[in-house]
């Protein structure tokens, strides 16, 4: 499609001798379309041109040459230049672009670039709870969006399958394993053992020391500890995959922390050679005060066992060599901000190309809290994610039974609507905000929700089915698409690819969620103001094709977020 911002930037550049690239970065989209389709804030040039913004705006307006086939007009409002795109050209561009592209929004801007996304990462032998939902759905959305933009994406589930907690579980299993039926309810029973051993550790320091020693034995490949650990892992993955099947989640790699156990000695050796690894209270640490980080990064504990940081450093080294990444994203809660600051700083000592350390990025997100406060495996106050998803499906089914009891494939529709509601609820707001999880809010099927987007898509399907055949592009008379309601839709569709780019620029899927709500609302307004199936064939063809476009973009966008679209509701 024609790049309108590029055209505007070129014209302003000719008038000011300022680079097009700089000017294009200043161009905005007014919130109110009465102020144009694009606006250029001239105060950005006031310092450079040493003039008042209104004077700059008027001077530029006098100098630029408008192609009336591209731009209807340019207006000066205060210190702004407001540009109005030719409505017929916009309609023509959008219709032709949708017609040509089987997968509208797809591009090759990421061609030749590798993106590693580390997300989900539940802890083995612990409940897969709603706190893991955010990392899973944010990571999956970013994975899908990078992919449609042409990047080579590697999704990694960095399982929490190593660490002192396994020393605790091993000790708990040794003490009470015969009291619990792991085959019947593996995660539930392991959680009970974990809670119980934690209580004992609080009471008896010797038990805690034995737990730490168990993990050291696991690191040293002790046969008994390794065998139990492998059993915990196998049982846990069976349970996790039930949740991933519900969410439609897939990963290119399941290499968890344990995968890097034989790769850590190289990291420690490299850090020793830098002379930066220091002894501190029996542990080995990297001091980072000169980097503005007061807390040292612990590489080896006083008992000789390794840390999360050691394993993450080994992972960076492995991923740089294996995937040659341009970006490595870590979709992990903001609680780990200090950890990643430390690890990314220490990674600069590993001797890898600066390209890799520059590409490391912590995609932080807020916590999921219960109305009563934080969740904790130790306290046992978790909402299991599988329970949440099944509850969502059940509630969706109850609504369907009330509103459309004759609907075919009710179970399939309930699954798509229920899961879609949960995913969209999580991705609807800025990822950095804490989310207080409430069943009624998450599963509300009114307002700005996933089911609203799905319902709008179903409505477009229904209109097209009633009409019969979709008109051919050459039969569309764009004169019938210049009204306000049609133009609002066309502008949004034109912005679809740019919206996807903004998501990757900010690693923020809520930008796409907001876009889909805006598009669904724009179509609802259009639908309420216009009869679509009418006697005038030209009018009908134009409105039908616009309906088809909306459905196509809503489905593509929702799929990118991880939602499936039902054909009927």
- What is the DSSP secondary structure assignment for residue 127, as one 8-state letter? -
- Which helix (H) or strand (E) element contains residue 337? helix 337-347
- Identify any residues that bridge with 328 across adjacent strands, giving them in sequence order: 116, 360
Q: Which residues contact 84 (CB under 8 A, 6 or more apart)?
A: 36, 37, 71, 72, 73, 74, 75
Does 556 score more than 80 pLDDT? yes
pLDDT score recorded for residue 439 = 67
Read off the pLDDT of residues 51-106 as tens digits, 9 standing for 90 and up.
999 999 999 999 998 888 999 999 999 899 999 999 999 999 999 999 988 899 99
- For tokens 């069943």, the residue is 439
- For tokens 């990571």, the residue is 139
- Contact present, 5 and 20 (Cβ < 8 Å): no
Read off the pLDDT of residues 171-197 as tens digits, 9 standing for 90 and up.
999 999 999 998 888 988 998 999 999
- Contact present, 460 and 550 (Cβ < 8 Å): yes
Query: How far from chain centre, in Å, is Cα 216?
Result: 36
**Burial level of 112, CB count in 10 A (0-12/13-18/19+)?**
exposed
- Contact present, 481 and 547 (Cβ < 8 Å): no
| Cα-trace Rg, the chain | 28
Residue 547 CA to residue 366 CA, distance in Å, equals 37
Does 445 score more than 80 pLDDT? no
pLDDT score recorded for residue 443 = 64
Does 258 score more than 70 pLDDT? yes
**pTM (2 d.p.):** 0.92
Above pLDDT 70, what percent of the chain? 97
- Which letter, b or e, does each residue of 199-217 get, where b requires 16 or more Cβ atoms within 10 Å of its Cβ? ebbeeeeebbebbbbbbbb
- Reading the block at residue 175, the tokens are 């003490």
Residue 447 CA to residue 450 CA, distance in Å, equals 9
Q: State whether residue 549 is helix, strand or coil.
A: helix
Q: Which domains does the chain have, with CATH numbers?
A: 4-85 (3.30.1360.70), 114-369 (3.40.50.620), 385-561 (1.10.730.10)
pLDDT score recorded for residue 374 = 63
β-pairing, 283-286 vs 114-118, is unpaired
Place 318 in a pLDDT band, splitting at 50, 70 and 90: very high
Does 378 score more than 60 pLDDT? no
Beta strands in 94-136 (DSSP E): 114-118
pLDDT score recorded for residue 30 = 92
- Which helix (H) or strand (E) element contains residue 241? helix 223-247
Closest CA to 326 of 360, 295, 300: 360
β-pairing, 435-436 vs 368-369, is parallel
Residue 366 CA to residue 368 CA, distance in Å, equals 7
Residue 344 CA to residue 312 CA, distance in Å, equals 9
Average pLDDT in the chain: 93
């Amino acid at each position: 499609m024609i790049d309108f911002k590029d055209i505007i930037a070129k014209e302003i550049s000719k008038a000011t001798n300022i680079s097009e690239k700089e000017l294009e970065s200043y161009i905005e989209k007014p919130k109110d379309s009465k102020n144009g389709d694009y606006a250029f804030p001239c105060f950005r040039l006031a310092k450079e041109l040493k003039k008042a913004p209104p004077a700059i705006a008027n001077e530029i307006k006098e100098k630029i040459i408008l192609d009336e086939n591209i731009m209807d007009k340019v207006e000066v409002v205060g210190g702004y230049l407001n540009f109005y795109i030719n409505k017929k050209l916009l309609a023509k561009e959008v219709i032709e672009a949708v017609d040509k592209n089987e997968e509208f929004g797809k591009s090759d801007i990421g061609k030749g670039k590798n993106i590693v996304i580390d997300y989900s990462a539940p802890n083995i032998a612990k409940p897969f709870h709603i706190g893991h939902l955010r990392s899973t759905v944010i990571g999956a959305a970013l994975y899908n969006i990078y992919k449609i933009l042409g990047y080579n994406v590697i999704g990694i589930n960095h399982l929490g399958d190593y660490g002192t907690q396994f020393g605790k579980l091993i000790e708990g299993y040794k003490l009470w394993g015969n009291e619990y039926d792991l085959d019947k309810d593996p995660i539930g029973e392991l959680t009970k053992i974990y809670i119980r051993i934690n209580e004992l550790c609080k009471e008896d320091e010797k038990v805690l020391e034995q737990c730490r020693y168990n993990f050291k034995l696991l690191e040293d490949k002790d046969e008994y500890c390794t065998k139990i650990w492998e059993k915990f892992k196998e049982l846990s993955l069976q349970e996790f995959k039930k949740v991933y099947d519900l969410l439609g989640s897939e990963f290119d790699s399941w290499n968890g922390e344990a995968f890097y156990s034989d790769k850590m000695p190289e990291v420690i050796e490299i850090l020793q050679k830098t002379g930066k690894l220091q002894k501190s209270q029996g542990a080995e640490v990297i001091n980072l005060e000169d980097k503005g980080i007061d807390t040292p990064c612990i590489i080896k504990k006083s008992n000789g066992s390794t840390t999360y940081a050691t394993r993450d450093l080994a992972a960076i080294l492995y991923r740089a060599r294996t995937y040659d990444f341009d970006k490595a994203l870590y979709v992990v809660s903001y609680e780990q901000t200090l950890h990643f600051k430390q690890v990314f700083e220490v990674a600069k000592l590993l001797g890898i190309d600066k390209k890799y350390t520059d590409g490391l990025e912590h995609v932080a997100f807020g916590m999921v809290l219960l109305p009563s406060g934080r969740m904790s495996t130790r306290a046992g106050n978790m909402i299991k994610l599988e329970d949440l998803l099944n509850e969502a499906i059940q509630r969706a089914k109850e609504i369907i039974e009330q509103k459309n009891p004759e609907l075919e494939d009710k179970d399939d529709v309930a699954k798509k609507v229920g899961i879609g509601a949960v995913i969209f609820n999580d991705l609807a707001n800025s990822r950095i905000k804490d989310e207080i999880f409430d069943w009624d809010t998450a599963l509300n099927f009114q307002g700005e929700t996933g089911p609203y987007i799905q319902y709008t898509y179903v409505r477009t399907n229904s209109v097209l089915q009633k009409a019969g055949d979709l008109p051919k592009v050459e039969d569309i008379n764009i004169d019938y698409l210049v009204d306000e309601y049609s133009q609002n839709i066309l502008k949004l569709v034109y912005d679809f690819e740019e919206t996807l780019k903004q998501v990757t620029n900010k690693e923020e899927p809520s930008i796409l969620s907001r876009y889909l709500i805006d598009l669904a609302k724009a179509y609802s307004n259009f639908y309420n103001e216009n009869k679509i199936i009418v006697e005038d064939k030209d009018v009908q063809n134009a409105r039908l094709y616009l309906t088809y476009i909306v459905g196509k973009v809503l489905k593509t966008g929702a799929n990118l977020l991880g939602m499936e679209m039902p054909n009927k509701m």
